[in-house]
Structure 1
Amino acid sequence: MAGRINDEDVKAVRDAVPIDAVVSEYLQLRNAGGGNLKGLCPFHDEKSPSFQVSPSKGFFHCFGCQEGGDTLTFVMKIDHLSFSEAVERLAARAGITLRYEEGGYNPAHQRGERIRLVEAHRVAADWYMEQLATSPEADTGRAFLAERGFDQDAARHFSVGYSPQGWDHLTRFLRGKGFTDKELVLSGLSQEGRRGPIDRFRGRLMWPIRDIGGDVVGFGARKLYESDNGPKYLNTPETAIYKKSQVLYGIDLAKKDIAKSSRAVVVEGYTDVMACHLAGVTTAIATCGTAFGGDHIKILRRLLMDNGSARVIFTFDGDAAGQKAALRAFEDDQKFAAETYIAVAPDGMDPCDLRLAKGDEAVADLAEPRTPLFEFALRHIVGRYDLDTPAGRAAALDEAAPVVARIKNSGAQHEVAVQLAGMLGILDTQFVVKRVAQLARWARDRGGKGPAPDDRQQRGRGGGPQQYGSAPAPASPRGPALNLRNPVFATERELLKLALQRPELVSPAFDAYGLDEFTAPVYAAVRQAILDAGGAESGVPDSQDYLVRVREAAPDDTVRAMVTELAVEAIMLHRGVKEVDENYAGAQLVTVRRRAVERRVREITGRLTRVASQGDPAELASVQNELWVLQQYDQALREHGAAAL
């Protein structure tokens, strides 16, 4: 195992890679106010964005599922990496050479498994590209691309390569680069042969498949020779870094334009993606040997942000297989807030063939929204029945009405019901509309499901931080439920937010506050974590490093999540207060202290009654004196504010 990474290097990595730059590679972020950014959480399904990023603090936090942390935490969670693997990945991105406490610099064979597998794929992709560009044997591959309208510049842009026909060319090359046989087999680049590992891909055109972060995690390989008995397309098998249901070919190239335009075009193959991008449709992506499904939707939703103008256009062949694929896509349609459409090229051509036959403009025109996917599905259903007979129309209505009832937008649902009546030739439009509405209502009542509940839950949460006067925390939070209608909890929360986000405004007074001045147990635990991290005053010189120390000092995940939440949540200004300054911070300090004094006064008043009944003059005088001191202190706080602390 590798030694422990030098702490200074870990800090350098955190400082060098902005958290918003990392997070925005996986989801679209928009302005949330107060210097924060927001997006759809990548760690749970949600309709409205409750995931917030604070670039100035280097933290993220989801107010829905309570996940949170710094840049390293995000990379660990999103890509399922260990701490050292996340540091190594970001260090490579930032060009930082890591030092290890044991054994000096990290030898290549000691790096984390995922890092090693990704590195093997990167080296393999470069080698395959070189083979395509320079090897005489690759003439077949170059001719294949040229026949489809792709020159060498296009091949380089998409990193297309060629795998030689020999048994172990790549395997021997990667061995020479220090990779072990075990790593090559685990990566899927090699497979076990009779006498050891051999190349998995031989004599094929190679398309590198990258994850949304840009790392090569697998390959799609196209057969070139008749002597090849394998399938037409052969993909990397499932590995620790490659899950075909969780990757989209071209997403690394398309993600920025998808987020910018709120549009994605889903095609069926690697050459279709190439044709679309070269024709100017730079939002095109494709699945990798599997049907478009729920995990693919999650990737797109994070980029599209589910705004009302978002569009997803599916292009499928006009044959039976293409229609079947379109109907499978429609099954997941309601998981999108985006509008979904289907586009079928003239004569059933795919984008690659269309570009060859009619040019770039025809491909760009194909990618414009055509037929709504629900309309395509309805026409497919209706087309199977004899609409000239009452029985045929009734049977078609029985199958089609539940499809319309699934449409989440009630206004759109009504309009489509009217369209369905027209398709079926039913003159009594209101009969169809009422039938659809009844089915939608039954679906909601029967299972408590349907389009409305998710939206209501999000609106109840505000899609973000709890506001004062809001409902209690979301169901099943990791921390104790806190009712922020309670002004005591609310003020304690604000003071802790100040201590984490603006330590210069509350230091050094805050560091003299005791745990008992925070009545909510989780708030007291956060106060202890700040103390264990060196106090709020230690955060003044370097706030990001301070927040990392506080999180590390938290005793468990519940407190750690609360630290992140308080570090990211906007500071709530009271009515009439225009900015977060020393006066505002002083008011919070005084309010929390005065309430603590008031609680102590009540305790001593009760004790005074008990002592008076016992008749001990000395103890009575001591208690009376303590009570007088507290009352004088409370008066000073009332009259002089923070100056009396």
Structure 2
Amino acid sequence: MAGRIKEEDIALVRERARIDDVVGSYVTLKNAGGGSLKGLCPFHDEKSPSFNVTPARGFFYCFGCQEGGDVIDFIQKIDQITFAEAVETLAAKVGIQLRYDDSGAPIPKSQSNQRPRLVEAHKVAGEFYSELLFGAPEATLGRQFLDKRGFDRDAAAHFGVGFSPRGGEQLVAHLRGRGFSNSELVASGLCAEGQRGLYDRFRGRLMWPIRDASGDTIGFGARRLFDDDKIEAKYLNTPETAIYKKSKVLYGVDLARREIAKGKQAVVVEGYTDVMACHLSGVQTAVATCGTSFGEDHARVLRQLLLDHDQFRGEVIFTFDGDSAGQRAAVKAFEGDQAFAAQTYVAVEPDGLDPCDLRLQKGDAAVRELIGRRVPLYRFVLIDRLRKYDLDRADGRIDALRDAAHLVVSVRDRSKVDAFTRELAGLLGMEVDQVRTEVHRAASRPTPAARPGAADRTPVVVQTEAPPPPRQNLPSPREPRFQMEWDVLKLAMQYPALLGVAFDELDDHDFTHPWLAAVRAAMAKVGGPSQAAPGEAWVVAVRDAMGNDPAAAVVSALAVEGLRLGREPDERFARAHLARLQELTCLRRIADLKSKLQRTNPIDKADDYNRMFGELIALEQYRTELREQAISGAL
């Protein structure tokens, strides 16, 4: 077992692994000014972006859920692994050979962190499968499958498509030859253990590598090719592993994520070949689920890539087959519509062709036109709902109205209810007032179970952002009364050189919130701003000096929150803040002294009274000087 990772290697990982690149693999980040980036938090659901990243200091912080830290903390939290595992994961990404213990010599990686090894195993397996697709005679059926669907060798290489040999133990032997242990092979999901030992999980199948947003292969999708395949399922997927969670994975996201962020559009298709067809046709925002239906976690991934929030409206376009299964899928997608701020659409080819068949029969332009002809998901579901009724009969129209009214009131954007009411009236051939009355009646019925067709629908729960619970029984350090203390520490954290030794004159009396006083003490413990190392090293040093103190929770916030200045602060600005903070301390001392004077008899305790009176005059004079410094610095 490897020992402790050397501190200089940890520092090198922090330096090489750019936090904006790492976080940007999971979340679309936009320029927020002042050197900061902003996006939707990956750690809690929110409709307005409050997740901030400051590359210059290597820290992130969410002002919604209060999660924060450096690039190592981010990987720890997002992958739910230990500190050492996060360091090893990042080291593998940026090509750093970690050293352990005190010897300084490279030694094998810690066995505690599986991710780098499992990712490497998938990389090796992907290369192995790809070579076999166009190099093994037994892969002929795989090549024919691709050719019949319009995919040539270049397309297969672009998407990493491969072929798993039929023998049953060839991948096992190949991976063992590359130094992987039996336990790693089983943990990867690439191999399974039987009575006679390990065997290849995928045999004689066409293989699609499933990658995460950063481009790491974490699983495979496998298509049946041979009639004598003992596993009858047409498609097999990697089982759940430490790195592969099917409810959170979208096939093609590695290729589509930048285009999704750039084009503010995501297209959700139903299979691997549909993703390939869309991308090759110019629809490079296409992704697909992997052996499971589109769910809440998939929606969350897309929202983070779209930067989907209330002030921005992108597009999420679902493509479904034109059959009854596709219509059911559209209804299910509509039930999850509340997860998006983006507008949701559906694109269905009238001939019932999926994007792959459509491209094959009608060309690339037809696929682009399919997406261009998208219709609002709401309207598609509404029309599908009305098809169930005979609208030529009066009772059929009434039944259709009662059913569809519930659909109208479930629309997320309340401003559109009246417009949809009018549209429904037109589709039914009824008076608008009659339809509006039924819509109002439907809105007043609280129980989804009472709705027609509710038995096969899952109620949509609209989640609202709730403030995180207090970490302990203290007022928030963000309250207005602590604003100057907060701003001074923010300056000290982000621009330590501007404060320098002047910050050393401050003490705990200048900070009335215990957490902020603890941060100041930690700064002093590591030498103060005048001794601050450049960049994120200073922030890391302060945070580490606080140990397990709950006050460490605010360090990330102080490191990433903007100054609301509109320009880079200078030394005069910083000194003005120091003077204002010291003035507030002086005012508190003046108030305390005046209170004591009022309680002191000037005759019985003349010496004490005169001493305090002289001290009061000196404090008032000092306060005037501080006020002048604060005003001059603010000009």
Q: Indicate whether the TM-score tops 0.5.
A: yes
Aligned to 1:470: none
| Count of residues in Structure 1 that have an aligned counterpart in Structure 2 | 619
SS at match of 2:284: coil
Which deviations, in whole Å up to 9, do the C-alpha atoms of 1:257-293 show, x marking residues without a partner? 0110011111111111111111111111111011111
Candidates 547, 557, 565, aligned match of 1:565: 557
SS at match of 1:602: helix
Given the alignment of the two structures, is residue 133 of structure 1 paired with residue 131 of structure 2, yes or no? no
Alpha-carbon distance between aligned partners in 1 of 2:483 and 2:135, rounded to the nearest angstrom: 68
Q: CA deviation at 1:411?
A: 2.8
Aligned to 1:189: 190
Aligned to 1:143: 144
What runs of 5+ residues in structure 2 fail to find an aligned partner?
448-458
Alpha-carbon distance between aligned partners in 2 of 1:304 and 1:354, rounded to the nearest angstrom: 27
What runs of 5+ residues in structure 1 fail to find an aligned partner?
459-473
Q: Is the 8 A contact 2:162 2:208 kept in 1?
A: yes
Change (3 A) 1:9 1:424: same
Q: Is the 8 A contact 1:313 1:369 kept in 2?
A: no
SS at match of 1:237: coil
Candidates 317, 322, 332, aligned match of 1:318: 322
Change (3 A) 1:366 1:101: same
Q: Is the 8 A contact 1:301 1:336 kept in 2?
A: yes
Q: CA deviation at 1:633?
A: 3.0
Which deviations, in whole Å up to 9, do the C-alpha atoms of 1:336-368 show, x marking residues without a partner? 111111112242111111111111111121122
Equivalent position amino acid for 2:360 in 1: L
Candidates 289, 292, 295, aligned match of 2:291: 289
Equivalent position amino acid for 2:564 in 1: M
Aligned to 2:592: 603
- The CA RMSD over aligned residues, in Å, is 2.8
Q: TM-score, normalised by structure 1?
A: 0.90
Q: CA deviation at 1:389?
A: 2.8
Alpha-carbon distance between aligned partners in 2 of 1:168 and 1:336, rounded to the nearest angstrom: 45
Equivalent position amino acid for 2:586 in 1: V
Q: TM-score, normalised by structure 2?
A: 0.91
Q: CA deviation at 1:97?
A: 2.1
Q: CA deviation at 1:95?
A: 2.3
SS at match of 1:349: coil
Given the alignment of the two structures, is residue 584 of structure 1 paired with residue 573 of structure 2, yes or no? yes
Aligned to 1:163: 164
Aligned to 1:547: 539
Which deviations, in whole Å up to 9, do the C-alpha atoms of 1:111-135 show, x marking residues without a partner? 6112222221111111111221322
Given the alignment of the two structures, is residue 123 of structure 1 paired with residue 124 of structure 2, yes or no? yes
Aligned to 2:370: 366
Q: CA deviation at 1:168?
A: 1.2
Change (3 A) 1:17 1:294: same
Equivalent position amino acid for 2:82 in 1: S
SS at match of 2:385: helix
Q: Is the 8 A contact 1:312 1:339 kept in 2?
A: yes
Change (3 A) 1:215 1:516: same
Q: CA deviation at 1:618?
A: 6.1
Q: Is the 8 A contact 2:53 2:59 kept in 1?
A: yes
Q: CA deviation at 1:482?
A: 3.5
Aligned to 2:451: none
SS at match of 1:560: helix
Q: Is the 8 A contact 2:579 2:629 kept in 1?
A: no
1:103-502 matched pairs, under 5 angstroms: 104-108=105-109, 110=111, 112-230=113-231, 231-306=233-308, 308-426=312-430, 428-437=431-440, 439-440=442-443, 454=464, 474=467, 476-478=469-471, 480-482=474-476, 486=480, 488-502=481-495
Same amino acid, percent of matched pairs:
51
Aligned to 2:21: 21
Which deviations, in whole Å up to 9, do the C-alpha atoms of 1:284-336 show, x marking residues without a partner? 11110111111110010111122644111111111222222222111101211
Change (3 A) 1:483 1:55: closer
Aligned to 1:466: none
Change (3 A) 1:133 1:453: closer
Equivalent position amino acid for 1:276 in 2: C
Q: Is the 8 A contact 1:109 1:178 kept in 2?
A: no
Which deviations, in whole Å up to 9, do the C-alpha atoms of 1:427-478 show, x marking residues without a partner? x21332343355446669xxxx999994xx69xxxxxxxxxxxxxxx45344
SS at match of 1:69: strand
Equivalent position amino acid for 1:14 in 2: R
Alpha-carbon distance between aligned partners in 1 of 2:31 and 2:437, rounded to the nearest angstrom: 41
Q: CA deviation at 1:502?
A: 1.0
Which deviations, in whole Å up to 9, do the C-alpha atoms of 1:387-435 show, x marking residues without a partner? 2333322222222212111212223222112111222222x21332343
Change (3 A) 1:640 1:401: closer
Alpha-carbon distance between aligned partners in 2 of 1:533 and 1:436, rounded to the nearest angstrom: 65
Which deviations, in whole Å up to 9, do the C-alpha atoms of 1:504-550 show, x marking residues without a partner? 111211122111211122222222232233322222x4131001111
SS at match of 1:5: coil
Equivalent position amino acid for 2:539 in 1: L
Q: CA deviation at 1:579?
A: 5.4
Alpha-carbon distance between aligned partners in 1 of 2:444 and 2:536, rounded to the nearest angstrom: 50
Given the alignment of the two structures, is residue 67 of structure 1 paired with residue 92 of structure 2, yes or no? no
Which deviations, in whole Å up to 9, do the C-alpha atoms of 1:134-158 show, x marking residues without a partner? 2222222112211211111111111
Q: Is the 8 A contact 1:402 1:439 kept in 2?
A: yes
SS at match of 1:432: helix
Alpha-carbon distance between aligned partners in 2 of 1:38 and 1:440, rounded to the nearest angstrom: 37
Q: CA deviation at 1:369?
A: 4.2
